[in-house]
């Protein structure tokens, strides 16, 4: 017997078209209505979700849809041109048309790839994102940024392609390893620093409750983080200005990911990236030491890293030069000039950058 859906919230996003982010529990029954009049569904998923994919496919098949499933490599290994080409071949063999629907079932890597495949097949078909990790629910699956990686960097090839719906079923967070749940909290905490300080208060008041899958505190945190992203995306779909604030901590974080060969989780790298830009903003005279230290405190409470290896600055600096926010040879960072007051710092003095790196390096005097 199918458990009745419990929709906690519907968060509207106004992009090139309006769509809803559904947040709740046991939301599988919502999918057929979201797929609508399509004849075929292309369901993309990682190997770890094969059983869940069969469950989703069964629900859609019973509703009368033809379902084609595509198993992807795990994690960031899926986000390659070769995997995208394999998906295009499958779509071609299935005679997939513009009225059909792609579904991305999985974490951020899966939803990034599913969105990119949908954006590029027949110059754009509908995609429904069904994120199964906290990171994907509050970040990757919402907003329409899609992409794949190259040897030169992360997400350098992609497209803006908004989903027709996002289904955040918090029940599925029970399947997550604790380390993955913690990693997802980095993007939640990011939203607290750039826009909604209540998020920080909720984490600080009861960090253990914040990490209970589908518990009331985490449910509120997810809704608040999604509303932050929805508001920003609705105002700036294509990252022309305002949307860059969502990349708080990401310039340095992406550099760590690249330097580590993507062996670090995205949220872990972003956590360190946020501490780095907090140190940078403090040294640039934009925020006080207390707010900079609050970054370490909140991230420590949920078990996220706040430091990185010493002796890697040259490699990280080179990786940051390839960041999408860089203009020519000039680095640009999203920083704070106060709590929930993000701004940009362009071309900071190299001495400030190196001092900020030293402050977050393992073995520094701040340890």
Annotated binding-site positions: 74-79, 108-112, 132-133, 145, 154, 187, 250, 266
Of 316, 202, 212, the C-alpha closest to 254 is 316
Candidates 52, 182, 227, 254; catalytic one: 254
Candidates 30, 70, 239, 268; catalytic one: 239
* CA atoms within 13 Å, Cβ hemisphere of 332: 13
**Torsion angle, CA of 88/92/98/99, rounded to 10 degrees?**
-120
The H-or-E segment that residue 14 falls in is strand 6-14
* CA atoms within 13 Å, Cβ hemisphere of 275: 26
DSSP for residue 145: E
Would residue 149 show up in a list of annotated catalytic residues for this protein? no
Binding-site annotation, residues for NAD(+): 74-79, 108-112, 132-133, 145, 154
Would residue 282 show up in a list of annotated catalytic residues for this protein? no
CA distance 346 to 151: 26
Would residue 324 show up in a list of annotated catalytic residues for this protein? no
CA distance 164 to 174: 26
Would residue 52 show up in a list of annotated catalytic residues for this protein? no
CA distance 352 to 333: 13
Candidates 126, 229, 325, 332; catalytic one: 229
Candidates 45, 161, 265, 266; catalytic one: 266
Candidates 250, 265, 282, 325; catalytic one: 250
The whole-angstrom distance between residue 16's C-alpha and the CA centroid of its chain comes to 20
274 burial (CB, 10 Å; 0-12 / 13-18 / 19+) is buried
Residue 183 region by backbone torsions, left for phi larger than 0, else alpha for psi between -120 and 50, else beta: alpha
Binding-site annotation, residues for Zn(2+): 187, 250, 266
Would residue 145 show up in a list of annotated catalytic residues for this protein? yes
Would residue 332 show up in a list of annotated catalytic residues for this protein? no
Would residue 266 show up in a list of annotated catalytic residues for this protein? yes
Would residue 45 show up in a list of annotated catalytic residues for this protein? no
Would residue 229 show up in a list of annotated catalytic residues for this protein? yes
Candidates 145, 190, 227, 295; catalytic one: 145
Would residue 123 show up in a list of annotated catalytic residues for this protein? yes
* CA atoms within 13 Å, Cβ hemisphere of 190: 33
Candidates 244, 247, 279, 283; catalytic one: 247
CA distance 277 to 257: 16
Residue 249 region by backbone torsions, left for phi larger than 0, else alpha for psi between -120 and 50, else beta: left
CA distance 79 to 303: 27
Catalytic residues: 123, 145, 187, 229, 239, 243, 247, 250, 254, 266
């Amino acid at each position: 017997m199918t458990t009745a859906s419990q929709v906690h919230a519907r968060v509207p996003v106004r992009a090139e078209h309006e769509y809803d982010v559904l947040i709740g529990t046991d939301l599988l029954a919502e999918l057929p209505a979201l797929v609508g009049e399509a004849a075929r569904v292309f369901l993309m998923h990682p190997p770890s979700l094969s059983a869940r994919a069969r469950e989703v496919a069964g629900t859609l098949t019973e509703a009368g849809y033809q379902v084609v499933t595509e198993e992807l490599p795990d994690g960031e290994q899926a986000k390659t041109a070769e995997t995208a080409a394999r998906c295009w071949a499958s779509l071609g063999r299935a005679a997939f048309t513009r009225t059909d629907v792609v579904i991305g079932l999985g974490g951020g890597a899966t939803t990034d790839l599913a969105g990119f495949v949908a954006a590029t097949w027949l110059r754009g078909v509908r995609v429904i994102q069904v994120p199964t990790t906290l990171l994907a629910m509050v970040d990757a699956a919402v907003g329409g940024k899609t992409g794949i990686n190259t040897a030169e960097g992360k997400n350098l090839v992609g497209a803006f392609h908004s989903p027709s719906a996002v289904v955040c079923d918090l029940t599925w967070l029970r399947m997550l390893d604790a380390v993955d749940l913690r990693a997802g909290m980095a993007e939640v905490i990011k939203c607290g620093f750039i826009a909604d300080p209540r998020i920080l208060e909720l984490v600080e008041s009861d960090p253990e409750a914040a990490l209970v899958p589908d518990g009331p505190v985490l449910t509120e945190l997810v809704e608040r983080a999604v509303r932050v992203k929805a508001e920003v995306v609705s105002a700036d779909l294509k990252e022309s200005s305002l949307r860059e604030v969502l990349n708080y901590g990401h310039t340095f974080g992406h550099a760590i990911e690249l330097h580590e060969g993507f062996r670090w989780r995205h949220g872990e790298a972003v956590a360190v990236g946020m501490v780095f830009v907090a140190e940078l903003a403090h040294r640039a005279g934009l925020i006080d030491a207390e707010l900079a230290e609050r970054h370490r405190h909140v991230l420590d409470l949920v078990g996220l890293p706040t430091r990185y290896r010493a002796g890697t600055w040259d490699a990280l600096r080179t990786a940051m030069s390839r960041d999408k926010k860089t203009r020519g040879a000039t680095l640009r960072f999203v920083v704070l000039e106060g709590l929930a007051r993000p701004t940009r710092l362009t071309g900071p003095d190299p001495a400030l950058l190196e001092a900020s790196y030293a402050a977050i390096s393992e073995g520094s005097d701040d340890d």
